[in-house]
Amino acid sequence: MRTLFLGPGEIDQAAVILRSGGLVGIPTETVYGLGANGLDRAAVERIFQAKGRPQDNPLILHIPDPSWLERYCEDIPETAWKLAKRFWPGPLTMILRRKPVVPDVVTAGLYTVGMRCPAHSMCRTMIKAAGVPVAAPSGNLSGKPSPTTARHMLDDMDGRVEAILDGGDCQVGVESTIIDLTCTPPRLLRPGGIPLEELEDVLGEVELDPAVTRPLETGERPRAPGMKYRHYAPKAPVTVVRGDPVHSAQYILEHVGDSYWEGVICFDEFAHWFEDHPVERLGSSMDCFEQARRLFRALRAMDEDSVKHIWAQCPDTAGMGLAVVNRLSKAAGFHIVEA
Ligand code: TXA
Ligand code: MG
């Protein structure tokens, strides 16, 4: 199969491919997604094949506006409408009770479904033109860092999807925040583009799923099935160094050795300390939004440099920091040291 690369003038073509059962790489504000018609069982099955994704890992349904929620969900709590009003379109996924119209293959047989209304206007225009909800996981091969550019998506999916719609670089850079509204108090299943503190502002108490901050113990099952898989991992092992930025940079400097094959992911302020190594900058130590935007790109760049080991500075968990720490920790298989 030859993968078409489509531009902003070709949104209708992407919509036609979706409607006819094809797979399309879709731009969103968080990361690129691997989309299919969410009501077409056979098309959705192809997503799992293209990604190499385990069948027990459910997909998010993407809709162009909040009014579509009622088509696919029932018993929608008042809090869902409040969250939609404040954060949609935007990087928030809500877990709600699904209606029977949503195929089992989308939800991996769960009685719930993840719903998201993305902020990227090309994405919403395409979904509206297709007239169907779009089931889409992140557009990476299973286990790899999510793609934040159309080029990264092509690197993983060339020949596996009919088309990729190029909507530019992703502005958020980490995936959506996932909140489960089917339990009390609501539960944060994955930190992401909307900080926890902003959700608490609307919801009051929010419970943190254990899978967000620590590895699961044997036999323990996360609420978001995807959180149990090795994820976001570059080829080389990663060591995450926690602590205030000066201390973590010092720790890396003391341990990195002089081999060119040791890569460093660090805040801009410290990049000049590591001139003899492949370095990827995450932005200022003060700017978690920039760190989120650059993280997956940095992990992919380390693969291209063919490093044998990666050292990474880690922000604290305030605001967007929680999502950055979560992705880095998972990329490292929770191999974390304190500076
Ligand atoms: O920003 C995003 O959310 C991106 C873009 C493309 O929208 N999508 C994304 O999808 O990150 P994916 O499949 O890579 O991650 C979705 C996560 C998985 O961990 C999955 O297990 C969980 O959401 N999930 C999906 N449906 C669920 C459900 N009904 N209950 C619990 N977890 C669910
Ligand atoms: Mg993913």
User: What residues make up the domain containing 207?
Assistant: 4-212
**Within a domain: 221:** no
CB burial readout 63-97, b (16+ within 10 A) else e: bbebebbeebbeebeebbeebbeebbbbbbbbbbb
d(C-alpha 30, C-alpha 169), whole Å: 9
**Within a domain: 67:** yes
In a shared domain, residues 276 and 331: yes
In a shared domain, residues 203 and 77: yes
Residue 47: what pLDDT?
98
Specify the amino acid at residue 264.
Answer: V
In a shared domain, residues 186 and 243: no
Q: Is ligand 1 within 6 A of the CB of residue 142?
A: no
In a shared domain, residues 141 and 16: yes
State the residue for tokens 């920091």.
321
**Within a domain: 285:** yes
d(C-alpha 240, C-alpha 246), whole Å: 14
| Domain at 124, CATH number | 3.90.870.10
| DSSP structural state of residue 320 | T
In a shared domain, residues 205 and 273: no
Q: Is ligand 1 within 6 A of the CB of residue 116?
A: yes
Ligand nearest the Cα of residue 190 is: 1
State the residue for tokens 């700017």.
287
Q: Please confirm whether the linkage preceding 185 is cis (ω < 30° from 0).
A: yes
* Alpha helices per DSSP H over the chain: 11-19, 41-51, 69-72, 78-87, 104-107, 121-130, 150-157, 196-203, 245-255, 288-304, 321-331
Q: Which residues contact 83 (CB under 8 A, 6 or more apart)?
A: 92, 94, 179, 181, 199, 202, 203
Q: Is ligand 1 within 6 A of the CB of residue 171?
A: no
Residue (of 180, 228, 213) closest to 317 by Cα position: 213
**Within a domain: 270:** yes
In a shared domain, residues 175 and 254: no
The residue to mutate among 104, 178, 179, 231, having the most atoms of ligand 1 within 8 angstroms of its beta carbon, is 178
In a shared domain, residues 22 and 98: yes
Q: Is ligand 1 within 6 A of the CB of residue 177?
A: no
In a shared domain, residues 126 and 15: yes
In a shared domain, residues 52 and 103: yes
**Within a domain: 229:** no
Number of the ligand 1 atom closest to the C-alpha atom of 136: 6
Using CA atoms, how far residue 57 sits from 13, 96, 160, in Å, is: 29, 16, 19
In a shared domain, residues 181 and 299: no
How far does the centroid of ligand 2 lie from the alpha carbon of residue 33, in Å?
9
d(C-alpha 35, C-alpha 332), whole Å: 28
**Within a domain: 24:** yes
Residue 222: what pLDDT?
80
**Within a domain: 226:** no
Q: Which of 177, 212, 247 is the last residue of a domain?
A: 212
How far does the centroid of ligand 2 lie from the alpha carbon of residue 281, in Å?
23
pLDDT-flagged residues of the chain (< 70): 230
Q: Which of 212, 229, 259 is the last residue of a domain?
A: 212
Helix then strand then coil, in percent of the chain rounded to 5, is 35, 20, 45
Residue 265: what pLDDT?
98
Q: Is ligand 1 within 6 A of the CB of residue 132?
A: no
| Domain at 250, CATH number | 3.40.50.11030
Using CA atoms, how far residue 278 sits from 159, 254, 298, in Å, is: 31, 16, 11
How far does the centroid of ligand 1 lie from the alpha carbon of residue 105, in Å?
14
Rg (CA), the chain: 20
d(C-alpha 69, C-alpha 161), whole Å: 27
Q: Chain centroid to CA 231: how far?
A: 10
Q: Which residues contact 78 (CB under 8 A, 6 or more apart)?
A: none
In a shared domain, residues 175 and 321: no
In a shared domain, residues 155 and 252: no
**Within a domain: 36:** yes
Q: Is ligand 1 within 6 A of the CB of residue 92?
A: no
Q: Which of 212, 246, 275 is the last residue of a domain?
A: 212
How many domains does the structure of the chain reveal?
2
pLDDT digits (tens, 9 = 90+) for 238-287: 999 999 999 999 999 999 987 789 999 999 999 999 999 999 999 999 99
**Under 8 Å between Cβ of 295 and 234:** no
How far does the centroid of ligand 2 lie from the alpha carbon of residue 262, in Å?
27
Q: Is ligand 1 within 6 A of the CB of residue 145?
A: no
Q: Whose CA is nearest to atom 23 of ligand 1?
A: 224
